Amino acid sequence: MESIGFSREGHIAHVRLNRPKSLNAINEEMDRGLYEAWNEINNDPDIWVAVLSAEGERAFCVGADVSGGAERPSRMALGGGLTGVGGPLVTLRKPLVAAVQGYALGGGFELAMCADVIVAATTAVFSMPETKVGIIGESGIMHRAIRQLPYRVAMAMILTGDRLPARDALAYGLVNEVVEPQVLAEAALRWAEKIAAASPLAVQAAKSAVLQRLDWPLEVALSTRFEPIEQYATSEDRVEGRKAFAEKRAPIWRGR
């Protein structure tokens, strides 16, 4: 699909929003493309981590494309299902790094918050303009923001539609790193390579365990048995990790 770029570089998948003239607003074609990309990443054992980026300097993504006049275009779910709003929730089992530049508004902001690591350009601006423009319906973005930002910071953004610049997002822990726009792709790839250097099965098991009990009391999380972690205990990678440590060498992961 022209609106979505998808490529592989070793064990890293690259997903790129490609509607720069529309500020990467998500239309039905892009949504289908994202849905297919996430499923490809989930189902391919040789993909260990993914990078989500966007074409153009002005915007990462400004949310759903409503240029046709409809308040809500027909779709599986904004962002191909990662948000679970307007369609089925797709849980990405592999780590996701988002490279954000320019405007990340509404659903575009939510799409960025679905990532496990966010690298932002100095030009990045995050916003939930729904109440400011008088359009509010689906509230997934608000539920994510209130969990990923300090309460009063998130509420101020929700109630006023005010924007959050990249440097402030870094200070509040929303993003992991802020870089100049010209090195954004390089910085995102560096994070992806750092993740890919770890045991892929261990990384996936850890992500699964964290997300499964994210909103549960600590005592519940501590007493839960996690199937992916138990499966990892008998994997080839676990044996390789111990062997490499004993031999004082870098492990050679196979994702098995």
Query: What are the angstrom distances between the C-alpha of 222 and each of 21, 91, 118, 205?
Result: 48, 22, 27, 15
| Per annotation, catalytic residue among 110, 138, 177, 180 | 110
Asked whether 50 and 14 are in contact (CB, 8 A), the reply is yes
- Residue pair 35/76 in contact (Cβ under 8 Å)? The answer is yes
Contact criterion met (CB below 8 Å) for 78 and 30: no
Cα dihedral across residues 247, 226, 93, 150: positive or negative: negative
110 among known catalytic residues: yes
Choice among 2, 9, 57, 130 that is catalytic: 130
Query: And the tokens for 214?
Result: 């994210």
Q: Which long-range contacts (CB under 8 A, 24 or more apart) does 68-72 make?
A: 71/135, 71/137, 72/137, 72/138
Please say if 2 is a catalytic residue: no
For 249, which DSSP code? S
Residues 199, 115, 103, 177, CA torsion sign: negative
Q: What is the DSSP string of 57-121?
A: SSEEE-SB--TTS-SS---SSTTTTTS-SSSPPP---S-EEEEE-SEEETHHHHHHHTSSEEEEE
Identify which of 175, 170, 211 has the alpha carbon closest to the alpha carbon of residue 82.
211
User: Active-site residues: which are they?
Assistant: 110, 130
